[in-house]
């Protein structure tokens, strides 16, 4: 399965949280925006500062993240992505989610393949469905 992965999916996997994406073993080709790295590393750093997680657990989580991201195709946040993300969507989206969705749309347009959109975010899932994506994770 070709899959666009948003940060919520990757973070649950990296942090060994419950309700990780059950389709994860079926993903043959994962893709995401460069934004994924920023969001995940910021979240891990916030957890380090604000939670009672051990330093060892967070270090292991960062290691898992970097191992995972090496296997994912990362697309840059280009001017084209920003300009398309500024356009109206049929569902309400924040800026970062608009960048994720736009990246997935451009990926689909450029490669002519269907990508399944993986997210645990209900609003992003709704917007992705409105763009014709099959969505998993919600």
Output the six-digit token pair for 8.
Answer: 């919520």
- Which pLDDT belongs to residue 23? 95
Nearest to 61 by CA among 118, 13, 7: 13
Backbone angles phi, psi at 118, to 5 degrees: -110, 120
Confidence bin at 110 (pLDDT 50/70/90): confident
Quote the pTM value. Answer: 0.92
Domain region containing 76:
2-136
Answer whether 108's CB lies under 8 Å from 114's CB: yes
Q: What is the pLDDT of residues 3-49, one digit of tens each?
A: 999 999 999 999 999 889 999 999 999 999 999 999 999 999 999 88
Please tell me the distance from the alpha carbon of residue 117 to that of residue 136, in angstroms, as a whole number.
Answer: 6
Output the six-digit token pair for 66.
Answer: 């970097």
pLDDT: which is higher, 99 or 52: 99
Element (H, E) at 43: helix 35-50
Q: Any idea which residue has 């043959």 for tokens?
A: 28
What is the arithmetic mean of pLDDT over 49-72?
92
Domain count, the chain: 1
- Which pLDDT belongs to residue 54? 86
Output the six-digit token pair for 18.
Answer: 């419950």
CATH code at position 53: 3.40.50.1010
């Amino acid at each position: 399965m070709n899959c666009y992965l948003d940060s919520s999916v990757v973070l649950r996997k990296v942090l060994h949280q419950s309700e990780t994406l059950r389709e994860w073993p079926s993903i043959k080709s994962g893709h995401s925006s460069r934004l994924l790295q920023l969001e995940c590393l910021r979240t891990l750093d916030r957890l380090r500062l604000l939670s009672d997680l051990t330093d060892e657990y967070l270090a292991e989580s960062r290691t898992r993240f970097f191992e995972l991201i090496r296997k994912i195709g990362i697309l840059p946040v280009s001017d084209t992505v920003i300009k398309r993300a500024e356009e109206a969507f049929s569902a309400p989206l924040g800026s970062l989610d608009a960048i994720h969705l736009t990246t997935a749309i451009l990926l689909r347009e450029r490669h002519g393949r269907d990508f399944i959109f993986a997210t645990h975010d209900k609003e992003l899932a709704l917007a992705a469905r409105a763009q014709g994506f099959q969505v998993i994770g919600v």
